[in-house]
Amino acid sequence: ALRITDECINCDVCEPQCPNTAIYMGAEIYEINPDLCTECVGHHGEPQCQVVCPVECIEVDPAHREDNDALLSKYQRLVKLA
């Protein structure tokens, strides 16, 4: 999963781009739910939030490092739940 660092300027651009609705407004800045973030695997070739973020404050979450297989499994679980 990816995470948003405290450099976020709350520009609101990333939230509607997430195919998994993993991005939400937290207490101070936008946050990413790691249970929902597939790093866009299953939807797009690259993380859409990173593509649109004007200040490049979205990075891999060191606490939630996942390989492509793990991300694909998460995507498949989410699709079944949908």
Binding ligand SF4 (rule: CB under 6 A), the pick from 31, 58, 71, 80 is 58
- To the nearest 10°, report the CA torsion of 37, 42, 45, 49: -30
The three-class DSSP label of residue 52 is helix
Rank residues 57 and 80 by Cβ distance to ligand SF4 and give the closer one.
57
Contact assessment for residue 1 and residue 37, using Cβ atoms and an 8 Å cutoff: yes
- Closest approach, Cβ 61 to ligand SF4, in A, equals 10
Binding ligand SF4 (rule: CB under 6 A), the pick from 16, 28, 53, 81 is 53
How many angstroms separate the CA atoms of 51 and 58, rounded? 9
Check binding of 40 to ligand SF4 (CB under 6 A). Answer: yes
Check binding of 14 to ligand SF4 (CB under 6 A). Answer: yes
